[in-house]
Amino acid sequence: MSHDDDAHGGDASFDPAPHRPSAGGLVLTALLAATVVGVLVVVGVVPRLKARATAREDHARAEAAEGRVIVSHPTRATAGSNGVTLSASIQPVQETLIYPRTSGYVSAYRVDLGDAVTEGQVLATIDSPEVRQELRQAQAGVLQARAGVQQARTQRELAHVESARYASLVTTGVVSQQDTAQRRAQADVSEANVAAAQAALANAEANVRRLQDLLAFDTVRAPFAGSITARTVEVGQLVTAGSTAGQALFRVSKTDVVRVMVNVPQLYAAAVRVGAPATLRLRELPTRVFQGTITRTAHELDTATRTLLTEVRVPNADGALIAGMYTQLTLLLERSVSPLSVPATSLVNNADGTRMAVVSGGAIHWRPVQVDSDQGDRVTVAIGLSEGDEVVVTPSDRLVEGMRVHAELAPPPPARRP
């Protein structure tokens, strides 16, 4: 290896001393690193500290808010005639689906959706060629049966004549007793033949009447006065007789009087009386009040819901009440004790049951209650409250049993319409 190779050759002859940082450079680098670390601390830690401080302030404000609750006193209607408002829907007083009584093709329909009809009015006509053909065959069978009756009667007359002749000759010895008995038996058989022929004629005539009645069903008529609320038939459509295999042609509803079926809670069931008044209100017609009457009840409670099915009928001469409408029905009932009414927001349903928070002695106490009815913005309570209780209007999950609170009375609720 040459001298030049030793001077510029491999790593063994390289001296790193000239490239080492000086003491001043190391100090500067350390200062820069410390500065970067400080900036990161300020950027990352300070916001967290501020967030924690804000959370503590929010928690303190929340704790301060927990100490203040809005309460309301339960209200009770005066004893006597009390109204209970329940949700219900309007139904026609009479409604039916009209099915074809004969099979065939629809030749025409005379009414359409929404048309008013009278009792007995023609709704549609059906062409039944098979039934007409069967009727002609049955009428021919009647002619044949009548001929059979005439033939049987003629044979009966002949048999009776021969029987009488043999009976007169048996004493002379011209005919034997056996021949006379045979003629008498033939006369008896002829009587039976006539009876059978007459029965066959009656059967044939009954078959003709059946087919004539069936053919009369080619004309579909309205069973009662009302309006057409559904039409599923078209001209040329094949229809099949019967409600099982066939398709309904029309639906007719009678709504000059409507009925409202409502489930009355058990607490009110004993006060329901047939003939008692009821009022009906619609959200769509806020200025109108419809008067009705309780017409009947089921006379027993549904064991699943503990309610009494009750029917109320309401006159509807102007057709303002449409079947299927949702409504609020108020029953005016005679009750000795009325339930207590509180805001619906005070009711809490959870794993602990149905409860309400009551302020007593400056502390929260949770009470189990039994709800009587839900009236939308308010609920009535049958068991669990007294008139002087202070019920928390909007209880929160932070209210625990025995918690000290400051109660403020809410303004009284607006008067409810009867």
380-412 confidence digits (pLDDT tens) = 887 888 888 999 999 988 888 888 888 888 877
Question: Which is nearest to 310 in space by CA: 294, 289, 290, 293?
Answer: 294
In a domain, 42, yes or no: no
Give the pLDDT confidence of 307-358 residue by residue, as tens digits: 999 999 999 999 999 999 999 999 888 766 677 889 999 999 888 889 999 9
Q: Round to whole Å and give the CA distance between 395 and 68.
A: 11
How many structural domains is the chain composed of?
Answer: 4
Q: What's the pLDDT score for residue 39?
A: 66
111 and 211 share one domain? no
Give the pLDDT confidence of 204-214 residue by residue, as tens digits: 999 999 888 88
Of 29-38, 225-234, 358-367, which gets the smallest average pLDDT? 29-38
274 and 226 share one domain? no
260 and 330 share one domain? yes
> Averaged over 173-198, what is the pLDDT?
84
Q: What's the pLDDT score for residue 7?
A: 47
137 and 205 share one domain? yes
Q: Where in the sequence is the domain holding 269, given as residue range(s)?
A: 84-93+255-335
Give the pLDDT confidence of 222-265 residue by residue, as tens digits: 999 999 999 998 999 998 887 766 689 999 999 999 999 999 98
Give the pLDDT confidence of 79-112 residue by residue, as tens digits: 444 677 888 999 999 999 999 988 889 999 999 9
In a domain, 20, yes or no: no
Find the CATH number of the domain harbouring 375: 2.40.420.20
> Averaged over 174-198, what is the pLDDT?
85
Give the pLDDT confidence of 44-72 residue by residue, as tens digits: 656 666 777 776 665 555 555 457 899 99
SS3 411: coil
In a domain, 231, yes or no: yes
Find the CATH number of the domain harbouring 292: 2.40.30.170
Strand locations in 21-121 (E): 68-72, 75-76, 80-98, 104-109, 116-117
Handedness of CA 338, 344, 345, 348 (dihedral sign): positive
303 and 378 share one domain? no
Q: What's the pLDDT score for residue 252?
A: 96
Identify the band that residue 77 occupies on the pLDDT scale cut at 50, 70 and 90.
low
In a domain, 198, yes or no: yes
Which helix (H) or strand (E) segment holds residue 64: the answer is helix 23-66
In a domain, 17, yes or no: no
Report DSSP state, residue 245.
T
112 and 233 share one domain? yes
Give the pLDDT confidence of 188-207 residue by residue, as tens digits: 888 888 899 999 999 999 99
Adjacent-strand bridge partners of 371? 381
291 and 323 share one domain? yes
Q: What's the pLDDT score for residue 292?
A: 95
181 and 228 share one domain? no
